[in-house]
Amino acid sequence: MKKLIIFSLLSLPLFLAVTQVNAQRLDRANSVKVDRVQKADQVRPANATRLADRCEAVAEKIGNHVERYQNNTDKHQTRYDRIVARLNALVVRLQEAGIDTVELEVAISNFEQKLILFEAVTADYLAHLAEVQGLACSETEGEFRSALTHLKEHGQEVRLSAQDLKAYWQETLRPLITSLLSNNN
Predicted local distance difference test score (pLDDT) of residue 87: 93
**For 132-148, what is each residue's pLDDT tens digit?**
887 777 767 678 788 88
**Average pLDDT of the residues of the chain:** 79
Tens-place pLDDT, residues 63-118:
888 899 889 889 988 999 999 999 999 999 989 988 888 999 999 999 999 999 99
pLDDT band at 130 (very low <50, low <70, confident <90, very high): confident
**Low-confidence winner among 4-8, 121-125, 143-147 (lowest mean pLDDT):** 4-8
The whole-number pLDDT of residue 169 equals 93
**Phi, psi dihedral angles at 136 (to 5 degrees):** -60, -35
Mean pLDDT over residues 113-136, rounded? 89
With 0.75 as the threshold, say if the pTM is over it.
Answer: no
